[in-house]
Chains A and B, each alone.
Chain A
């Protein structure tokens, strides 16, 4: 057992490759409904990792990530529907606009910290929701926007899946690069001790704002992908309940690990679908799971496994200066 675990740990790269290969052949080996499921999991995994850049890495608790996610979704939807922009441009505009709005919102939010910061993010997200809900002429109001003219090529489930896989793959790679960079380490230092960082000549608010903007941009990409995946957008994409879903995904998987939100997304979506097939009161069980999670598994699945496997793992297997958050 020990040698198996050791082998798995020191061959993380190989594991990743196997996972990637598996993801590549999913449409070939699974039914369409399962392919859609994996598609959804990939999108939420990206959203979770985007949120986690702020949450797990920089220590900024946001109650409103869904707002920026919805900005991305609606940007693509409106550009495709109202203005008939080319598909590629409609997609690329999502992170750009989400980043810009994230910058505006973030500039206000980082003026405050902790509870007040969180409440500010909540308020801004609700303003976004209200605008989406009320501006019938531009956003379709509470009807949302349906039958979005995505290119016919992506009507096929497997084509849409590969689009998601490629974009999520690239985005996660970018996020990983950011997190492993000096900038990423600086963000972690901010999480550990924000006050101290000013004493090492770091302009705290500027870095927090940068994390906010980057997080928003990647949330925008996720939103845009979901728009293409589902062919429609609704104001509830910005609702605080959706934001809480994202927070739960991060918590479920584990904040202090890059892969946490990915695991969280898979488990959360799988559980939701499985339980909702069994009973119409599936949200009750979801609530119970969430309560259980907070009380007994605060470090998420990945954190829990790391702790349990720590005595088993051989600690000299090259885990150098990557310990703070992998």
Chain B
């Protein structure tokens, strides 16, 4: 088991965002977390990556308790993440965006003497190629099209050589064609690198298309988990969801 959480709880003021969440994720699994807006999905991600502190409970990654580790240490251990709202380095070129992450992976970020433009070119270009941005490597991040920026995000996340990747609504704001392309890319990358993937999604086509298992989050609790077929048939889940997401049940 690559990731386990035990009775995770997080409240903000009077509001409980995450309550008694127990996850058991196996290596190589493709897990999606679905739930209405405000269900606590992003909070859960923030707890896993160490950006907010846990009220109670534990997070165990590859057998180690990472509950109290700072975010950069968790990232170093192998948990990568992409974001709902765009989170790239706008004034750096696509190449530099990925390169800076590669430097970190290669523990070269502290190097003050070498010339950055000469280092890590192959690795950076390899990643750019795998997310389909090699021909756009010199364009500034801010000037890329939205879909390309999402790919760049993925590239940055991959560059740090994660074993577990958390994707927060990767296809948000994309047309169906773009979503399809991104989904294929994700599957390819996961297959190539043997990654474990947890993603939060609202697009049901993506969710039911590629997940090994689905966890349904509602008001901070996991109310159901199982394989895509099981989730489709569950009445409580249907009730919560009717009218909420794009892609209705009948079309799947």
**A and B touching (Cβ–Cβ under 8 A):** yes
> A-side interface residues toward B, CB under 8 Å?
177-178, 180-186, 188-189, 192-193, 195-204, 207, 256, 320-325
Q: Complex: how many Å from CA A256 to CA B80?
A: 30
* The one of A180, A184, A199, A322 that contacts B75, using a Cβ cutoff of 8 Å: A199
CA distance A325 to B99 in the complex (A): 15
A195 contact set on B, CB distance < 8 A: 87
In contact, A323 and B72 (Cβ under 8 angstroms) = no
Please report the total number of B residues contacting A with Cβ < 8 Å.
46
Number of A-B contacts (CB under 8 A): 124
Q: Give the chain B neighbours of A203 by CB distance below 8 A.
A: 70, 72-73
Residue contact A189 to B119, C-beta cutoff 8 Å: no
B76 part of interface (Cβ distance < 8 Å): yes
Question: Can you identify 6 A-B contacts, CB atoms within 8 angstroms?
Answer: A199-B71, A201-B105, A201-B160, A320-B117, A321-B95, A323-B96
A192 to B159, CA, bound (A): 18
Q: Is there contact, CB below 8 Å, between A323 and B93?
A: yes
Among residues of B, the one whose C-beta sits closest to the C-beta of A206 is B72
Complexed CA–CA distance, A183 and B116 (Å): 8
Q: Mark B70-93, 1 if CB is under 8 A from A, else 0.
A: 111101100011010001111111
- Whether A185 contacts B72 by the Cβ 8 Å rule is no
A-B pairs, 8 with minimum CB distance: A192-B89, A201-B76, A201-B75, A198-B71, A324-B92, A182-B103, A200-B101, A189-B100
Q: How far is the CB of A321 from chain B (nearest CB, A)?
A: 5
**B111 CB-CB contact with A under 8 Å:** yes
Distance of A109 Cα from B136 Cα, bound (Å):
38
B103 and A186 contact, CB distance less than 8 A = yes
B207 close to chain A: CB less than 8 A: no
A64 to chain B: closest CB distance in Å?
24
What's the nearest-Cβ distance from chain A to residue B158, in Å? Answer: 11
A10 to B131, CA, bound (A): 32
Task: Indicate if B127 sits at the interface (CB-CB under 8 A).
Answer: no
Residue among A199, A207, A256 with most chain B CB within 10 A: A199
Contact B72 A202, beta carbon cutoff 8 Å: yes
Chain A residue numbers with a CB within 8 Å of B71 are 198-199
User: How far is the CB of B81 from the nearest CB of chain A, in Å?
Assistant: 5
B193 CB → nearest A CB, Å: 17
The answer to whether B116 and A185 have CB atoms under 8 Å apart is yes
A189, closest chain B residue (CB): B100
Q: Tell me the complex Cα distance, A33–B81, Å.
A: 59
User: How far does the alpha carbon of A325 sit from the alpha carbon of B115 in the complex, in Å?
Assistant: 14
0/1 string, B50-79, CB within 8 A of A gives 1:
010000000000000000001111011000
- Bound complex: CA A182 to CA B91 (Å): 16
Q: How far is the CB of B134 from chain A (nearest CB, A)?
A: 13
Q: A185-B103, A196-B89, A199-B75 are in contact. Are A323 and B140 (CB under 8 A)?
A: yes
Q: Are A198 and B72 in contact (CB under 8 A)?
A: yes
Instruction: Determine the chain A residues whose CB is within 8 A of the CB of B70 once the complex forms.
Output: 198, 203
- The smallest C-beta distance from B202 to any residue of chain A, in angstroms, reads 22
A193 and B160 within 8 A (CB): no
Residues of B within 8 A of A324 (CB): 89, 91-93, 96, 140
- Contact (Cβ within 8 A) A181 B92: no
Q: Choose among A181, A198, A200, A256 the residue that contacts B116 (Cβ–Cβ < 8 A).
A: A181
**Bound complex: CA of A325 vs CA of B49, how far in Å?**
30
Q: Which residues of B contact A322 (CB under 8 A)?
A: 117
Which residues on the B side are within 8 Å of A180 (C-beta)?
A: 115-117
A322–B81 CA distance with the chains assembled, in angstroms:
26
Tell me if B15 is interfacial: C-beta within 8 Å of chain A: no
- Residues of B near A192 (CB, < 8 A) are 88-92
**Contact residues, B160-175 vs A (CB, 8 A):** 160
Q: 13 extra interchain contacts, Cβ-Cβ under 8 A, other than A199-B80, A200-B100?
A: A180-B117, A184-B112, A185-B99, A188-B89, A189-B100, A193-B87, A198-B75, A199-B49, A200-B101, A201-B105, A203-B72, A323-B93, A324-B96
Residue of A nearest to B121 (CB): A321
